[in-house]
Amino acid sequence: MTTHLTARNAVVVAMIAFLMLVPVYAATTGNTFMMTLFTRIIILAIAAVSLNLIMGFGGMVSFGHAAYLGIGGYVVGILAKEGIDSGFVQWPLAIALSGLFALGVGALSLRTRGVYFIMITLAFAQVVYYVANGLDRYGGDDGLTIQRRSEFGGLINLSNRTFFYYLCLALLLATVYLVWRMVNSRFGMAIQGARSNERRMNAIGFPTFRYKLICFVIAGLICGLAGVLLANHTNFISPQLMHWTRSGDLIVMAVLGGMGSVFGPVIGAVALLVLEETLPHLIGLVTHVFTGKEIAAAKEYWQLILGPMLLLIVLFARGGIDGLIARSRNG
Amino acid sequence: MLYLIEQSLNGIQLGMLLFLLAAGLTLIFGIMDLVNLAHGSLYMLGAYFAATLIEVTDSFVLGIALGIVATLVAGMVMEMIAIRPLYGRDHLDHVLGTFGLLIFFNELVRLIWGPAGLTISLPPEMLTAVQVLPGVFYPLYRLVIILSTLAVGLLLYVLVMRTRIGMLIRAGASNREMVGALGVNIKLLYTLVFGLGAALAGFAGMIQAPLAFVQIGMGENILILAFVVIIIGGIGSIRGAFVAAVLVGLIDTMGRAFLPDLVRAFLSYSAGSSAGPALSSMLIYALMAAVLVFRPEGLFPASNK
C-alpha cells in the first residue's frame, strides 16, 4: 500500500501530531483542563473507532455500544472496591467480559436487521444499565468512586497524567492501525461485502453470520478497553457511563467524523467534544458582537445549537468531516 | 389477592400509557418508515404544555384538552420543518437526526420552563378511591387513565379502520407513490399522521404527569420501553402495540411487585429491594429478545407491509 500526500492523509498526520503535542502545550501553559479534556476525547475516540468498525464497515448500526464502556468500567470499579487493584487481573477480565457480552448480544441480534437490529442492541444495553442501577453495593444509581487506579506491579504508573495520556494515545493509534489492517484484509472485505449484499456473499460461500459475529465481538473487546481507560481516567463509574444517550453520542462521533474511513471517528470525537466545550464561548462571542456585551445566560443553552447542527449534518454532510476533506481534493 | 388485583390494574394502567406512546411510534414507523427518537420529547412537551395550561385556565380538563391541541400543532410544525427531509433516508440518519432534535427539545424546555421540574396537581374530586370489586379500592384517577386511554385506543381504531382519512393512511402505508398519483396530498397526510402521533404521545405525558413529575428528559426512558413494545407487537401494527403494551406493563409492574419477595426468599432482604426492579426491567428485554429470535416480525406483524 503506497501512501500519497492527499488532503485526507495530511489531516490524519496533523491530527496525530496535534494529539501528541497536547501534553507539551499543557505542561508549558499549566493548562491541566486541556489534558483532562483530551484524555477523555482520546478514550471516547477508541470507542467510536470500534463502533465504526461494525457500523461503518459492517453496516451493523449498534445503538448499545456504550454498554461495553460500562462493562469495562464496572469490572475495574468492582474489582477495585473488592481490593483487587492489579491491572493484570482487571484489564483482561474487563475486556474478556465485554467480548463475552458482545458474543451473546451479537448471536441474538445479528439474526435481525435494520431497525430491529438498532433496537435490540439498544435493549441489551438497557439491561446492563438497569443491572448497574441495581448494584447497591457498588453505588446503585449514584455511582462508585474508584480509590486507586489500576496497578501494574510498579512497572507503570497510571496516576501520572502525562504517562496516562500517552498510554491512551498509543492504544488509540494501535486500535486505528488494527482496524485499518482488519478492514483491508480478506476478513474486512468479506464484512464489507456482507454490508452491501449479504445474500450474494452467502451464495458465493461466505458464512456471513459468523464473520459479522466475530467483527461484532472484536468491536466489543476494543470498546471494553475504552471503558477500562475511562474508569481509570475519571476514577468514577456510574450507570450514566452507559446511558443510551451515550451510545447516541458515539454514533454521532462516527458519523460526524465520517464512517467511510478508519480515522474518521477520531476526527469526529475531537470535533464533537471540542465543539461541546467551545460552543458556549462561541455563543458568548456572538452575543458580544450583536449586543455589545456577553449574555452569560445564552451560553448555557449551547445544546440548542448542537441539536439542529446534528440534523443539518445528517441532511447535508453525509460523509462527515472526512467526506468533506476527501471531496475538497477532488472538487 | 387484593394486592394482586391492585397490581394488575397498575400494570394495565402502565400498559395503557405505553400504548399511547407506542401507537404513535408504530403509526409513524409503519407509514412513513421513520424511526423517531424525538417521540419522547413530544411526551415531555405534552406534560409541560398541560402543566402551564392547567395553571392558566385553572381547569384540569380544559388544560388537558388545550394541551393535546398544542402538542398536535407542535408535532405538525416539527414535521414540516425538521422531519420531512428525513423521509426516504436510511434508519441511521433518522436515529441521528431525531437524536439531535431530542437534544434540542430538552434544551428548549430548559430555556422556557427552567431546569426545575413542574408538578400537575389533580382536582380534589379525582383524589378519591373507588370500589372496583367488593372490598377492592382503587384510586379513581388511575381508573380514569385506563378508561380514557381505552377510549382513545377505540377512537384510533375507528379513525384508521373506518374513516376515509384512515383509508388514506392505510393506503399511504402500502404504496406511497400510488396514493400520490391518485391525487392525494401525501405530504399533508404525513404531517397529519405525525401530528396525530405527537398528540397521542403528548396525551400520555400529560395524564401520567400528576402521578409523577414533569421534568426534562422524562420521555427518554419510557420511549425505550415504547420501542420495545412496538418491536414485540410488530412494527406498524396498532393491534400488536396494544397487546404488547399491556403485556409489558403487566410484566414490569408484576416484576416490581413480586420479584423482590422472590429474591428475598433466596437471598438477603436488601438484595431483594435492589435486584427486584433491575430483574423486572430485564424480564421485559428478555421477552423482547425471545420474540426477536423466534418471531422476528413481532407477535402481530402488520399485514400491509
ipTM summary value: 0.83
Q: B305 in a domain, yes or no?
A: no
CA-based angle B212:A249:A188, to the nearest 5? 135
Sign of CA dihedral B168, B172, B173, B174: positive
**Inter-chain contact A314–B97, Cβ cutoff 8 Å?**
yes
The set of residues, in sequence order, having a beta carbon less than 8 Å from that of B196 and lying 6+ positions away, is B24, B27, B72, B75
In contact, B31 and B169? CB cutoff 8 Å: yes
Q: What is the pTM of this model?
A: 0.88
Please list every residue in chain B whose beta carbon sits closer than 8 Å to the beta carbon of residue A56.
none
CA distance B33 to B305: 10
CA-based angle B254:B152:B214, to the nearest 5? 65
Q: B301 in a domain, yes or no?
A: no
Q: How confident is the model at residue A210 (pLDDT cuts 50, 70, 90)?
A: very high
pLDDT of A328 higher than 90: no
Of A152-156, A232-236, A307-311, where does the model show the most confidence? A232-236
**Which residue of B lies nearest to A256 if distances are taken between CA atoms?**
B96
Percent of chain A with pLDDT over 70: 95
CB atoms within 10 A of CB B304: 13
Q: How confident is the model at residue B160 (pLDDT cuts 50, 70, 90)?
A: confident
Q: B95 in a domain, yes or no?
A: yes
For residue B11, the enclosing domain spans 2-120+134-294
* Domains of chain A with CATH codes: 37-330 (1.10.3470)
Q: B304 in a domain, yes or no?
A: no
**Inter-chain contact A245–B106, Cβ cutoff 8 Å?**
no
CA distance A104 to A217: 9
pLDDT of B199 higher than 50: yes
CA distance A169 to A42: 6
Q: Which of B107, B248, B283 to mutate to test the interface with A (most CBs of A within 10 A)?
A: B107
Sign of CA dihedral B124, B128, B132, B138: positive
CA-based angle A262:A225:A128, to the nearest 5? 105
Q: B193 in a domain, yes or no?
A: yes
Sign of CA dihedral B37, B41, B44, B49: negative
Q: How far is A91 from chain B (nearest CA, A)?
A: 26
Q: B261 in a domain, yes or no?
A: yes
pLDDT given at position A1: 46
What does B242-262 look like in DSSP terms, one character per residue? HHHHHHHHHHHHHHHHHHHHH
Enumerate helices (H) and strands (E) in chain A, giving the number of each: 14, 2
Cell 392547567 belongs to which residue?
B54
Q: B235 in a domain, yes or no?
A: yes
Q: B125 in a domain, yes or no?
A: no
Q: What is the β-pairing status of strands B136-139 and B129-133?
A: antiparallel
Q: What is the pLDDT of residues B216-253, one digit of tens each?
A: 888 888 888 898 998 899 888 888 999 999 999 999 89
CA distance A165 to B6: 56
CA distance A56 to A256: 12
Q: What CA–CA distances, in Å, run from A67 to A94, A131, A238, B99, B153?
A: 12, 11, 12, 18, 36
pLDDT of B273 higher than 70: no
> Per the structure, how many domains does chain B have?
1
